[in-house]
Amino acid sequence: MRPGPRLSAISELVRPGDRIADIGTDHGWLVLDLLERDIVRHAIAIDRAARPLANAAANLARLDRTRFELRRGDGLQPLSPGEVETVVLAGLGGARIGRLLDAAPAVVATLARIVVQPERDWIAMRRWVAARGFALVDERLVADDGRFRLVCAIDPTRADDRPWTEADLAFGRRLRVDRGPTWRAWMEQQRRAVLAALGACGERRPDRAAQLRARAARIAVELTRWPDPRASLAGRGPAPEDSGA
Ligand X SMILES: C[S@@+](CC[C@H](N)C(=O)[O-])C[C@H]1O[C@@H](n2cnc3c(N)ncnc32)[C@H](O)[C@@H]1O
28 binds ligand X (CB under 6 A): no
33 binds ligand X (CB under 6 A): no
* 73 torsion bin: left (phi>0), alpha (psi -120 to 50), beta (else): left
**Which residue, 138 or 160, has its beta carbon nearer to ligand X?**
138
| List of residues 6+ apart from 155 with CB closer than 8 A | 112, 113, 134, 135, 137
Distance CA 216, CA 199 (A): 12
Counting residues that bind ligand X (by CB under 6 A) gives 15
Q: Among candidates 51, 54, 60, 70, which has minimal Cα distance to 33?
A: 60
98 binds ligand X (CB under 6 A): no
94 binds ligand X (CB under 6 A): no
90 binds ligand X (CB under 6 A): yes
26 binds ligand X (CB under 6 A): yes
Backbone angles phi, psi at 221, to 5 degrees: -65, -45
Half-sphere exposure of residue 93, counting CA atoms within 13 Å on the CB side? 5
- Binding mask 205-244 toward ligand X (x if CB under 6 A, else -) reads ----------------------------------------
**Which residue, 24 or 229, has its beta carbon nearer to ligand X?**
24
Residues 16 and 86: beta-carbon distance below 8 Å: no
Select the residue interacting with ligand X from 18, 33, 47, 222 (CB under 6 A).
Answer: 47
Scanning 33-41, 87-95, 127-135, 198-206 for contacts with ligand X by CB under 6 A, the matching segment is: 87-95
74 binds ligand X (CB under 6 A): yes
Select the residue interacting with ligand X from 91, 94, 98, 229 (CB under 6 A).
Answer: 91
| List of residues 6+ apart from 146 with CB closer than 8 A | none
Residues of this chain that bind ligand X (CB under 6 A): 23-26, 46-49, 52, 74-75, 90-92, 100
